[in-house]
Structure 1
Amino acid sequence: MTACLRLLSALCLAALLAACASSPSSNLGELPRTPDATVEQLLERATASKSPEEASVLRLSAADQAARQGDASRATQILQQVRIELLKPGLQILASTLGAELALTRNDAKAALAALHHPSLQRLGELPADQQVRTHLVRARALEADGQVLAAARERVFVAPLLSGDAAGQNHEAIWALVGSLPVEQLQNQGSDDFAGWLSLALAVKSAGTLEQQQAAIDTWVAQHATHPAARQLPTPLVKLKALASQPLTRIALLLPQDGQLAGVARALREGFMAAYYQAQQAGQKPPVIDVIDSSRLTSLDDFYRQAQAQGVQLVIGPLEKPLVKQLAARAQLPLPTLALNYSDSNQVGPPQLFQFGLAAEDEAREVSRRARADGLHNAAAMIPKGDWGDRVLNAFRQDFEANGGTLVAAERVDQPVQLAQQIASMLNVRNAGSGLQSSTGAQASRRQDIDFIFLAATPQQAQQIKPTLNFQYAGDLPVYATSHVFSASGDQAQYNDMTGIRFCETPWLLDSSNPLRQQVVRQWPQANGSMGRLYAMGVDAYTLAARLGQLKALPDSRVEGLSGNLGMSATQRIERQLPWAQFVGGQVQRLPNTTP
């Protein structure tokens, strides 16, 4: 009996040793357990080591420690000395993960994703959970930074079961932030897994028109997906959305000029607004009463607000005139919540009841910055018109681009067409310009190589001259990212041909002719099919925003899918637009795939 017990013990010990020998640590490799060693000591040991593999392991450990201490520059330098091919697969995964983390500190999402394409990543599932989590989370961050929002959300949903505590909560909120930022067309998923559930939740919230409908949609979704992680714990923005006190909006004053220079603009805004009103009515909703007030006949804003309050108005939409908006922004309080259809000065902080919405060129400049960065471009040159408008657009672009790691290498202010060729040659440092492909001495013509793309804010007529001149000045390969001002929406194929290759941001209204409301409006007002369509879209969105201002104020990360753009609210209560993209190709306008909204 004793002999049998001894034999059983020996067999158990052998099995335990075999299990240890086949553990992930021994098969895949692990860092040396030297918790007290400094980066310098690890590097010294690496230098003294006679084993190239051991030296690489020690250097990887030193790079990892430097990164954890916040010294990304030194960590990158050390990691470059690691011979990754000498490492075991588990350490190759760690090196790739660390490389991706360091690339993200440089705002280089594409380099991060490239680092995570190492063949060793196929064995990631064999590593301990904490190492798997680290790799999956950096991949999710890199995908998001690269504009692959759907893939980033999927990655976070995949890693969620491995997380606990604060990390699980943060990942839960990050999943909602990602899926909540996606356009409706990307939320269609007929699956039954957790990822499909997240998408259907976002679709339910986005598809609901009013705050009450959104709250009801959340309740319905939770009842239908009781076991889903988001049903067990609603994301914080949705908890806040559920808690918002909602008073039905029954009366709105639409304050727009009927005479003067802005009468035509106001007419398009008003017609778009009322088109949305009638659409809501036809859909069975009970829209508020609309009082249309002529702001061009106002003698006193105080008198207007007193009369509006007396008539039971709950929200004012307007004015359009910038001087009136400035007057409102200068006040400490307003008697009623007001959605102005223009902006006051950029440094003017208005009263808490004032919201501001318009087709700001600055929004488009920031959109160019975002899109170029999402496309992996980091060095820009700019061409903008001379004058205050051009300066504002350039400043908005520069601030956003440089704040996110980009560099504005050069800028030219366009004025006289006769100077255009020389301005472009100067901006690009073109040598032997205008002498053909080679000079008489045989020297090859060239331009500076530190520019990744050109930011263009110009009229269609200017763009027609600029793009061919860029081609002539040896810069035909430089991507051009433009604001919507280059697009006349005239359907002029000859004009579009001259701008082939230019990418530009534009309102969904002008890029999606299949929208039912747009089709209805264009049938009644054909001018809405051209550049005036932007104003009709803004009018439609003003109606939509009326019921969403409280939501956007309470939930800074929430957005509204509008026809003038994807709408959010800044800390100063200005509605900011993010826009889809298109490019001119062979005389046609071609829609480009979306990136991060």
Structure 2
Amino acid sequence: MIACLRLFLALCLATLLVACASSPSSSLGELPRTPDASIEQLLEQAATSKSPDKAALLRLSAADMAYRQGNAGRAGQILQQVPLDQLKPAQQIFASTLSAELAMVRNQPKAALTALSHPSLQHLSELPAPQQIRTGTVHARALEADGQTLAAAKERIFIAPLLKDDAAAKNHEAIWALIAALPTDQLQPAGNDDLAGWMSLALAVKSAGTLEQQQAAIDQWRAQNPKHPAALQLPQPLIKLKELASQPVSKIALLLPQDGPLASVAKALREGFMAAHYQAQQAGQKPPSIEFYDSSRLSSLDDFYRKAQAAGVQLVVGPLEKPLVKQLAARPQLPITTLALNYSEGGEQGPAQLFQFGLAAEDEAREVSRRARADGLHRAAALIPKGEWGDRVLKAFRQDWEANGGSMIGIERIDQPVALAQQIADLFQLRQSEGRAKSLQSTVGTQVAAQPARRQDIEFIFLAATPQQAQQIKPTLNFQYAGDVPVYATSNVFSASGDQNQYNDMNGVMFCETPWLLDANGLLRRQVTAQWPQAGGSLGRLYAMGVDAYRLAPRLGQLKALPDSRIDGESGSLGMAAGQRIERQLPWAKFVNGQVTRLPDTPR
């Protein structure tokens, strides 16, 4: 009898513990339940309820149901009727979480983070797992949307042990995507927790050069961290890397024009491409064989691909001609993976087998935006050439600048040198200042000593101009009382001629440029310029692009599999942008007393 009583008491205690584990303690309050009633019925019950606590729970359930049905507007209206400060902590957490989810529907991550900063959230770990998962998930989404990548990863790592099956797999992949997106200088593993393991894995992958080296680094990491979640289940992009490493490229077709208006450009690209190929051979690597095709003599792209396939080509580098790239971008698929050396217009999504790479001026415009923003500036004016090219560069700069909170407060399109002084005076409103002085002089009837004053709200100038134009612009700025306004320019201002008089005229101008032209001591550059001296001048940008095309070719799958990873190239730091377009980030320099001085790189 006593044994039976003990068994009964044990069962009661176990039941009580299970109940405590699946619901909040009485001091935290009750979470809203999933009801069998409609939204209208819930709201009617809330309106007639004599208990404020019960009415609040009913309204929370109704708001949640509206959200789950995709009616965020109605959910928000119902939630506003719930007095948050009068709720118990569990209900406050539920309401704050729902408020954050609604803010994310409106694409307002900061509002979501504000909702999740409610003091009640300190009790989240005391609530049932489903609520912890729900709150943690929206918190991670909001942090990521707000640019707090590391914090978002930490939040997802926190909820990972609570998840199962498909939800666990999706969260696992999301953790890797966030960690892989962190710059290398933020990957600082400390300790032996899961976060440190994720970081050390990302650091190992990013530090390796070739696909084979990356695979070796992954295998070594797994051996050192056998119980880590990523070792037990390798993230999908890293599985893809393993597949790519087992399928090395052995034959490349280089498709460039040998005749026509682009022949000289193609020659520089070809020589840079082959220089990188020979360097790989000298380093003891087993580079792919190269087949040369003349795009200026193409009868059709279909014929070319048939011939390339028959020759065993696994990757095409080229074409260079924009009309051909446009044709490729319009196709649903390509028979061979292709790295085009130009960009199709419009930014449309091309076939999965097409990648696009070039020296886009738009990249440099976005680089100026990044740099000025990193330097703490907010208000820009622009001096750009009149015409289609200037409009494209300005559009790229303006989109990136304004999307990140900057403002454009003046634009002048430069054309005729004789009009330049007037345009800069108009940009800085100097004539208005002179007019006020003359008006005052007329009023008082005596000579007034007044120096023209420029507007003070322009923090810097975005300049896209040739060296000859820039030689006029900087002295004119000095003359027009605007010599102290910083000037951030694209690489167009740099002739790489070594002309100190020209550089003196642009004293103080900062500009982005390819590593190839800024680092004259690079081993490959010295070898190339010894054979082709023109590679040390402005044509060097094309040689650098050729080198990078060769180095990119076998690593396209890597960039696709590892979003936000980058390759440090001769034409810039290369990454994969939307539409499988290779986008460059460039280093910076400044004209100082007739010399080119390298500046610290822009933080990534």
Do both proteins adopt the same fold according to a TM-score greater than 0.5, normalized to the shorter chain?
yes
Instruction: Tell me what 2:26 maps to.
Output: 26
Contact 1:483 / 1:506 at 8 angstroms: preserved in 2?
Answer: no
Q: Which residue of 2 aligns with 1:38?
A: 39
Q: Which residue of 1 aligns with 2:450?
A: none
Aligned residue runs from structure 1 range 320-339, under 5 A: 320-322=320-322, 325=325, 338-339=338-339
Match of 1:548 among 555, 572, 575: 555
In structure 2, what is the Cα distance between the partners aligned to 1:582 and 1:98? 46
Over residues 348-393 of structure 1, what are the superposed CA-to-partner deviations in whole Å (9 max), with x where a residue is unaligned?
Answer: 8878865432133455678899999999x99999987543335555
Tell me the CA shift for residue 286 of structure 1: 1.6
8 Å CA contact 2:23–2:30 kept in 1: the answer is no
Q: CA deviation at 1:170?
A: 0.8
Q: 2:583 aligns with which of 577, 588, 592?
A: 577
Q: Aligned letter for 2:553?
A: A
- Aligned partner of 1:196 in structure 2 is 196
Query: Can you give the 5+ residue segments of structure 1 that lack an aligned partner in the other structure?
Result: 427-431, 442-446
Q: What is the aligned partner in structure 1 of residue 182 from structure 2? A: 182
The answer as to whether partners of 1:147 and 1:374 remain within 8 angstroms in 2 is: no
AA aligned opposite 1:520 = L
List aligned pairs for 1:279-294, cutoff 5 A.
Answer: 279-281=279-281, 283-290=283-290
Q: Which residue in the other structure is 2:148 paired with?
A: 148
Structure 2 unaligned spans of 5+: 444-454
Residues 247 and 41 of structure 1, relative CA distance in 2, 3 Å threshold: closer
Deviation at 1:163, TM superposition (A): 0.7
Partner amino acid, structure 1, of 2:39: T
What does residue range 417-456 of structure 1 map to in structure 2 within 5 Å? 417=420, 420=423
Question: Which string of whole-angstrom CA distances, capped at 9 and with x for unpartnered residues, describes residues 414-439 of structure 1?
Answer: 3455675798699xxxxx998889x9
SS at match of 1:548: helix
8 Å contact kept, 2:241–2:557? no
Instruction: Look up the match of 1:94.
Output: 94
CA shift in 2, pair 1:590/1:374, >3 Å: closer
Q: Deviations over 1:298-349 (max 9, x none)?
A: 5867898899789876544334343554576688998865433113444888
Distance 1:156 1:333, change over 3 A: closer
Which amino acid in 1 is paired with 2:30?
A: E
8 Å contact from structure 1 (residues 107, 405) kept in 2: no
Deviations 1:265-317 (A, max 9, x none): 55654455345435534554222344677877x58678988997898765443
Distance 2:359 2:155 in 1: 36
Secondary structure at the aligned position of 1:339 is classed as strand
| DSSP 3-state at the match of 1:576 | strand
Equivalent residue letter for 2:144: E
Question: What secondary structure, in the 3-state scheme, does the structure 1 residue paired with 2:389 have?
Answer: helix
Bigger drift between 155-164 and 237-246 goes to 237-246
Alignment partners' CA distance in 2, 1:364 and 1:217: 34
Q: Could you say if the C-alpha distance between residues 116 and 487 of structure 1 is closer, same or farther in structure 2, counting changes exceeding 3 Å?
A: farther
Map residues 68-79 of structure 1 onto 2, 5 A cutoff: 68-79=68-79
Q: Please tell me whether the aligned partners of residues 28 and 88 of structure 1 are also in contact (alpha carbons under 8 angstroms).
A: yes
What is the 5 A alignment of 1:507-526?
A: 519-521=522-524, 523=526, 525=529
Three-state SS of the structure 2 residue aligned to 1:358 is coil
Answer with 154-163 or 455-464: which moved more. 455-464
3-state secondary structure, aligned to 1:28? coil
Conserved? CA contact 2:368–2:512, under 8 Å: yes
CA distance in 2, matches of 1:436, 1:102: 53
Deviation sequence 1:217-257 (CA, Å, 0-9, x none): 44444344332222222223333443459554344454556
Match of 1:163 in 2: 163
| Cα offset, 1:518, TM superposition | 7.7
Cα distance change on mapping 1:424 and 1:160 into 2, 3 Å:
farther
Shift of residue 157 of structure 1?
A: 1.9
In 2, the alpha carbon distance for the partners of 1:167 and 1:351 equals 31
Q: CA deviation at 1:161?
A: 0.7
Task: Number of aligned residue pairs: give it.
Answer: 558
Preserved contact between residue 314 and residue 336 of structure 1 (Cα < 8 Å):
yes
Mapped pair 1:593 → 2:599: no
Kept after mapping to 2: 8 A contact 1:457/1:486: no
For 1:212-291, list aligned pairs within 5 A: 212-244=212-244, 246-256=246-256, 262=262, 265-266=265-266, 269-270=269-270, 272-274=272-274, 276-281=276-281, 283-290=283-290
| 1:389-400 alignment, distance < 5 Å | 389-392=389-392
Query: 1:85 offset after TM fit, Å?
Result: 3.5
Aligned sequence identity (%): 60
User: 1 CA distance for matches of 2:142 and 2:197?
Assistant: 23
Amino acid at match of 1:95: A
- Give the letter for the 1:174 counterpart: A
RMSD (Å), alpha carbons = 6.0
Partner of 1:414: 413
Instruction: Check conservation: 1:21, 1:27, Cα contact below 8 A.
Output: no
1:547 partner letter: P
Deviation at 1:26, TM superposition (A): 1.9
Q: 1:81 to 1:578 in 2, by over 3 A?
A: farther
CA distance in 2: counterparts of 1:78 and 1:534, whole angstroms? 60
Deviation at residue 145 of structure 1 after TM alignment: 1.4
Structure 1 residue 172, shift from structure 2 partner: 1.1
C-alpha change, 1:231 and 1:23, in structure 2 (3 Å) is closer
- Secondary structure in structure 1 of the residue aligned to 2:583: strand
* Equivalent pair of 1:56/1:86 in contact (CA under 8 Å): no
Contact 2:587/2:601, CA 8 A, preserved across alignment: yes
State which of 546, 553, 557 in structure 2 corresponds to 1:539: 546
Instruction: Give the SS at the match of 1:120.
Output: helix
Partner of 2:576: 568
Q: 3-state SS of the aligned residue for 1:70? A: coil
Q: TM-score, normalised by structure 1?
A: 0.68
CA distance in 2, matches of 1:91, 1:583: 56
Task: Return the offset for 1:138.
Answer: 1.7
Q: Distance in 2 between matches of 1:32 and 1:304?
A: 65
Q: 2:42–2:61: 8 Å Cα contact kept in structure 1? A: no
Report the 3-state secondary structure (helix = DSSP H, G, I; strand = E; otherwise coil) of the residue aligned with 1:547. helix
- Identify if the C-alpha distance between structure 1 residues 349 and 168 changes in structure 2 by more than 3 Å, giving closer, same or farther: closer
